[in-house]
Amino acid sequence: MGKRGPQPKSPEIKKMEGNPGNRDPEDFSPREDLSTGGLFIPTSLRREEKDVWRYVLASMPSWYFRAADKHLLMTYCRVMCRLQRAERAMMRKPLISKRGNGAECLSPYMKVIEEAETKLVKLSDALGISRNKRFDVAPDRIPVDPESAPRAGEDPDDFGDLVQRPRLAHSA
């Protein structure tokens, strides 16, 4: 049995051919949630973890994170919330606790906090959100207009007339 009909055309070919039948164009571009940097907030995160997710994505450029970073970001959010919960719990309890035999030891929350901080440092390096990695994050350079560039001898930080000077009251 032979093939049925012509081979379907790709969206790129359809776009090149135009719209001869004046039909509604089909949008094959992937959906992006622009409010969260192009990544959807995972539904498996808790409310406070979602807040951390939004905060991290809002603090970086919208093009920085990709879908491959999703699971690292989820882990980062969970570890951050675990750290915050341990710190809040430690505020309610003493730093040094007593065991059943009467010996004193540090609060078990201290270990949770130390492990979470270590994981956060590693995750922030892996995601590129640590301070030393952020300096590499920059959009493409915008060419500077030679006429608006500062000339030799001019202070590039001089705001000139943009700074409002206080007005003196004139005596009549």
If the chain, 172 residues long, is cut into consecutive pieces of 10 residues, what is the mean pLDDT of each piece? 79 78 60 56 91 89 84 94 92 82 86 92 88 63 55 52 49 49
Number of separate domains in the chain: 1
Q: What is the pLDDT of residue 135?
A: 64
Closest CA to 40 of 49, 31, 29: 31
Q: What is the pLDDT of residue 163?
A: 46
Residues 6+ apart with CB under 8 A from 172: none
On whether residue 106 sits in a domain, the answer given is yes
- Spatial distance between the Cα atoms of 170 and 92, rounded to a whole number of angstroms: 62
Cross-strand pairs, 97 = 105
Q: What is the pLDDT of residue 58?
A: 86
Q: What is the pLDDT of residue 138?
A: 57
On whether residue 113 sits in a domain, the answer given is yes
Q: What is the pLDDT of residue 164?
A: 47
CB neighbours of residue 78 within 10 Å: 20
Question: Domain containing 87: what range?
Answer: 31-138
On whether residue 10 sits in a domain, the answer given is no
On whether residue 5 sits in a domain, the answer given is no
On whether residue 157 sits in a domain, the answer given is no
On whether residue 9 sits in a domain, the answer given is no
Phi, psi dihedral angles at 86 (to 5 degrees): -65, -40
Q: What is the pLDDT of residue 122?
A: 92
On whether residue 50 sits in a domain, the answer given is yes
For the record, the structure tokens of 19 come out as 């719209």
On whether residue 156 sits in a domain, the answer given is no
